[in-house]
Structure 1
Amino acid sequence: MRYVSIDHVEPGQYLGKTIYSANGTVLLGAGVQLTVYMISTLNRIGVTMLYIQDPMFEDVETDDMLSEATKQGMIQAMNSTFEAIRSGKDWNTQMIGSSVDSLLTDVMSNKEVLVQLTDIRTKDNGQYIHAINVCLLSSVMGINMGLNYQQLKELATGALLHDIGKTGMREEDLLIPDLKGHHTWRGYEKLKSRREFSLLIAHVALQHHERVDGLGLPRGLAGDEIHLYAKIVSAADTYERLVHPLPPQAKKLLPHEACEEMMAMSEKQLDHEVLLQFNRIVSVYPNGTAVRLSNKQTGVVVRQHRGLPGRPVIRIVQGEASRFDVKELDLAKETTVFIEAVLS
């Protein structure tokens, strides 16, 4: 598979990864042959990047930590929860708990894999994909930091529901500096009333926009006043917002650019120790990404090295259709070659 801009997708190519609707149903399944109408529709609903199948890279997988069943179930659980809240109905905490258990089972079975955020988002499913990605990143960091299963479940649940306070709010309300109306307070109020949840889960929603330098919202907490769970979720949320900004027309950073930006936030917005853990678990050049190297060759990332996220294996294809020359360059061994740019 290759990861390409939708502007470069052509009719007749085959979709590499399934795209889900906001309610968890399959919008387009992996393997479907794309038509002009499909590409136009995907563009209209906000899809900007796609995985497509490519014979030269048919063995390249995205190394997803989560199974398709887990992802689909989590989107359905999030959609059901948020729709119930919007309509003023009771919501099913058991469904959320089961989703978190499924995620943790998958993560603990694949904890040697670097996290690659590869799900295709649309205008409708974006908030759910964001929540799942924040949950995934937070959970992997939590495992690396030695949290036990009960702590991991609290962390993952708080991460999945960190933005629950935004539900039912208008976009313009999110910009109003009324702290008691801030989505963090609203989320805290929604979660603290659920006896099935630990109060720490509610505090993740309340504290995930606090900063370690004391300049955050809503209470201006600093340093150790901020719970570890919230510090972890803050790092995951920050990364997700840098690579998938809201609104969509805001500047979008590539994964390696987002990691560099976050390191500049160390001990200001983000906790330094949490940042160190974050940089150990995230893939800055996901599989399928086209890159240009410092030796001016171009290729596609095909494999990762745990512990060396910036030094993946690159497949370089040269020549014409009848006589291709294919070679792989392992940047962990070729120490004088660097990735110079990411190509769309």
Structure 2
Amino acid sequence: MKYIGLEQVEPGQVLGKSIYSGNGRVLLAAGVPLTVYMVNTLNRIGVTMLYIHDPAFDDVMPEEMVSEVTRREVLQETNDMFEAIRSGKEWSSRTIRTSVGRVLEDVMSSKELLLQLTEIRTKDNAQYVHALNVCVISAVIGMNMSLNYSQLKELAIGALLHDVGKIERAAGGEPESGKREHHTWRGFELLKTKQEFGLMAAHIALQHHERVDGLGEPRGLSAQEIHPYAKIVAAANMYDNLINSLDGEGCRPDEACEKLMAMSEQQLDHEILVQFIRNVSVYPNGSAVRLSTKETGVVVRQHRGLPARPVVRIVQADGDMLLGISELDLAEHPTVFIETVLT
């Protein structure tokens, strides 16, 4: 499969990866030939990138840390929870703990893979996909920092729920004034009542917009005053916000990594960023790239520990005539590098 921008899709091309709604239902199933109407509809609902089938790359698959089944179930359960909060109803903390447990099982069993966040985002599912992505990224960083399972679960629960304070509540309660109106405070007030989580999830929600230089919100904490879990979630939150945008202005993963490192020791913790960069796929499978040799190709495989040195498949063609296919392992060719991602 190839991972391309929606503007590059041509009618008749076949969708390679299903697109889901916010509650986990299939909006458009993999294997469907795309029509002009479908492409226009995808554009209207906020889709900017998707996978399509390509005969030269049909063996290329995104390396998913979280299975499609787990992802669909957690998206649906997160949707249900957010809707309950929005309507002022009670919601089950047990369901969330179970969901996070499934995510951790998948992530821990996929620890040899590099992190690739290629879930197709729409206006409908963006909030839930973001919550899940931040949860997965945080778990990966936590594993690299040798957290035990109990600590990982605390971290992952807080990461999944870090933005619950953004949910518009049903009318009736008195609004807070000043800094306590900030969504981090609202999230803290909501989560601290859930004793099954302990207070850690509430403090992650409260502190994930603090900065190590003390210029963050809502309390202006700095360096050691910020809990390590909140620092992890801050980095995860920033990365996912950088690479995903419904207006088409999101960064490529390589650009986002550069921007993150530029924030080191000002906005984000340096050591946490190092642990993250080691495990993120800078060029996800299916990405079309141009090499320093001026050849173009598609990323087909990754090297753990060498996220910027994937294997690139180069297809040589003359019109519709295939002349040859070769693969270049950048880990074995240190003088060749990826010049740009073609989108």
TM range (shorter): over 0.9
Q: For the Cα contact (< 8 Å) 2:20–2:26, is it kept in 1?
A: yes
| Deviation of 1:94 (Å) | 1.4
Instruction: Name the Cα RMSD after superposition.
Output: 1.5
2:250 — aligned with what?
A: 252
Corresponding residue of 2:88? 88
1:196 aligns with 2:205: no
Moved more, 232-241 or 161-170: 161-170
Instruction: Please state if 1:61 is matched with 2:54.
Output: no
Which residue number corresponds to residue 151 of structure 2? 151
Q: Following TM superposition, by how much is the alpha carbon of 1:51 offset from its aligned partner in structure 2, in angstroms?
A: 0.4
SS of aligned partner of 2:278: helix
Which whole-Å deviations, capped at 9, do the CAs of 1:149-208 have from their partners, x for residues lacking one? 1100010000000000000079xxxxx993110000000001000011110111100000
Q: Deviations over 1:30-67 (max 9, x none)?
A: 11222222111111101011100111001101010111
Residue of structure 2 in register with 1:180 after alignment: 180
2-side partners of 1:29 and 1:271: how far apart? 40
1:32 equivalent in structure 2? 32
Report the residue type matching 2:293 in the other structure: N
Residue aligning to 2:173: none
Partner of 2:165: 165
Q: Offset of 1:98 from its aligned partner?
A: 1.2
Q: Distance in 2 between matches of 1:308 and 1:22?
A: 34
Where does residue 302 of structure 2 map in the other structure? Answer: 304
State whether residues 2 and 288 of structure 2, in contact with CA within 8 Å, keep that contact through their aligned partners in structure 1.
yes
Distance 2:268 2:156 in 1: 19
Identity %, equivalent residues: 63
1:48 aligns with 2:48: yes
Residue 285 of structure 1 deviates from its aligned partner by 0.3
Kindly state the Cα deviation for residue 11 of structure 1 after the two structures are TM-superposed.
Answer: 1.8
Aligned counterpart, 1:334: 333
Residues in 2 aligned to 1:177 and 1:310: alpha-carbon distance in whole angstroms: 46
1:234 aligns with 2:231: no
Contact 2:48 2:248 (8 Å CA) reproduced: no
Aligned to 1:211: 211
| Contact 2:86-2:169 within 8 A present in 1 as well | no
| Number of residue pairs matched by the alignment | 337
Distance 1:318 1:250, change over 3 A: closer
* Cα offsets for 1:316-343 (capped at 9, x unmatched): 0002334331000111111111111110
Task: Give the Cα–Cα distance (whole angstroms) in 2 for the partners of residues 266 and 201 of structure 1.
Answer: 24
Give the 3-state SS of the residue equivalent to 2:216 in structure 1. Answer: coil
2:312 maps to what in 1?
Answer: 314
Q: Return the letter of the residue paired with 2:337.
A: F
Q: Distance in 2 between matches of 1:169 and 1:260?
A: 37
Distance in 2 (alpha carbons) for counterparts of 1:46 and 1:227: 35
Which of the numbers 247, 260, 263 marks the counterpart of 2:261?
263
Alignment of 1:72-111 (within 5 A): 72-111=72-111
Matched residue SS, 2:221: coil
Task: List 4+ stretches of structure 1 deviating above 6 A.
Answer: none
Q: Which residue of 2 aligns with 1:173?
A: none
Q: Please list the CA deviations of residues 5-52 of structure 1 after superposition, one character each: whole Å capped at 9, or x if unmatched.
A: 111111211111111101111111111222222111111101011100
Counterparts of 1:127-146 in structure 2, within 5 Å, are 127-146=127-146
Distance in 2 between residues matched to 1:263 and 1:316, nearest whole Å: 30
Q: Which amino acid letter does the alignment assign opposite residue 205 of structure 1?
A: A
SS for the counterpart of 1:196 is helix
Give, as a single letter, the amino acid of the residue that structure 2 aligns with 1:47.
V
AA aligned to 1:318 is Q
Distance of aligned partners of 1:263 and 1:309 in 2 relative to their CA distance in 1, 3 Å threshold: same
Matched, 1:343 2:342: yes
TM-score, normalised relative to structure 2: 0.96
- Cα offset for 1:220? 0.7
Find the counterpart in structure 1 of residue 278 from structure 2: 280
Equivalent-residue separation in structure 2 for 1:153 and 1:140 (angstroms): 12
* Cross-structure match for 1:13: 13
Q: Any gaps of 5 or more consecutive residues in structure 1?
A: 171-175
Unmatched tracts of structure 2, length 5 or more: 171-175
Aligned mates of 2:247, 2:49 — CA distance in 1 = 14
**Residue identity opposite 2:199 in structure 1:** L
- Aligned equivalents of 1:56, 1:151: Cα separation in 2: 44
Q: Which amino acid aligns with 2:310?
A: P
